[in-house]
Structure 1
């Protein structure tokens, strides 16, 4: 299957305009057929040994999302204490999640037992199954952007908080809590870059030829 120039350009547009959305969520429900397309795109991510270790827990219930929000607040306070002075105040000023504002939350997990102990491609590097679930997150994120949906990855939360709120079995690893919904706008650049927290690094400084 050949990709033509218009299709190529559309893909790059999606990649470069993808944002980690924390605010500007609208209360409008996400149509079921759209969410299904996005989840199917996630399900077509590459996976080590074709083990497809992911599951997707879709959460619309407000009370369940309040539990996730409470878990975020605990980890958020812990994180703030790790910064000093002005950096701490700047961190506290950021909006870093949209758990209650977004109409849908999706937890992406990894079942590390799905294909048994020996998995093609995981023998030397056992963490490859976790990376596979992260690939599913990225597929979901890009598909959602193509649907003009915002996605925010809430990483400031302990796995056990998510596991308890969602009744996830002990052997399943929660990889990502994602806030998903229609938004009023997308920022032109990542919010942390816009706020001056860190700059975007130059590609030429990160590319090595032949050896490090």
Structure 2
């Protein structure tokens, strides 16, 4: 008997949120329920952070003109990425970023300035600040899904341009734009899997025993 174990229904709910979480690209009109945005940020703030450095900061972007400027920064990188994906340019360009203009809420996630002295857990792995922030974003994603609200993570943008637009201090680094709002549906499969960009790898391709087998775990074919 494990006294710390959740009830079966609670465990099933956690597993369902994990399985049904989706990276949302299309939103419908509507606002978030009162207090939900704060709860989402609180969920992120409760996530683990390496060395308890708590590096994650959020900038809410609500002004239509600033959102439009943010969209232009992202659109410029979308065009550049599409040009680099020469063999699949047409397919990539069908992926839209209108959530930045249409979603109920937009949050830019950034790493705080002055991270360099925080070496607890980061001396040889400085990227653990990004990993810590990602843990928080996943918490937000799962809570949003449980609430029936969509969340999309936009990652193609020039971080320097976003930092300038949002008047971030020197050393702060934006790593994500989160579009959050009501959706028409949560698809059975991830969008990119549905569009043929990739497939979910079987566990035997990602879980090894004791050592990394020769020839195993290669990166899936890229585009």
CA gap of 1:97–1:207, structure 2 versus 1, over 3 A, is: farther
Matched, 1:109 2:131: no
* Counterpart Cα distance in 1 of 2:189 and 2:118: 42
Which of residues 64, 69, 72 in structure 1 aligns to 2:71? 69
Which of residues 16, 20, 33 in structure 2 aligns to 1:31? 33
Residue 101 of structure 2: SS of its match in structure 1?
Answer: coil
8 Å contact from structure 1 (residues 27, 102) kept in 2: yes
Q: What displacement does 1:201 show?
A: 1.3
Q: What displacement does 1:203 show?
A: 1.4
* Counterpart Cα distance in 2 of 1:70 and 1:4: 47
* Counterpart Cα distance in 2 of 1:205 and 1:119: 33
TM-align CA RMSD = 1.5
1:43-192 equivalent positions in 2, closer than 5 A:
43-85=45-87, 87-113=88-114, 117-192=117-192
Q: What displacement does 1:145 show?
A: 1.1
1:10 corresponds to: 13
Residue 102 of structure 2: SS of its match in structure 1?
Answer: coil
2:199 corresponds to: 199
8 Å contact from structure 1 (residues 112, 129) kept in 2: no
Instruction: Return the TM-score normalized by structure 2.
Output: 0.88
* Poorly superposed stretches of 4+, deviation over 3 Å: none
Q: Which runs of 5+ in 1 are unaligned?
A: none
Residue 109 of structure 2: SS of its match in structure 1?
Answer: strand
Q: Which runs of 5+ in 2 are unaligned?
A: 213-223
Q: What displacement does 1:123 show?
A: 2.1
Deviations 1:107-129 (A, max 9, x none): 11111525x61432122212211
Residue 176 of structure 1: SS of its match in structure 2?
Answer: strand
Would you say how many aligned residue pairs link Structure 1 and Structure 2?
209
Deviations 1:18-37 (A, max 9, x none): 101001x1221113411111
* Counterpart Cα distance in 2 of 1:199 and 1:179: 24
Q: What displacement does 1:47 show?
A: 0.3
Between stretches 55-64 and 39-48, larger displacement belongs to 55-64
CA gap of 1:48–1:77, structure 2 versus 1, over 3 A, is: same
Residue 100 of structure 1: SS of its match in structure 2?
Answer: helix
* Counterpart Cα distance in 2 of 1:26 and 1:60: 17
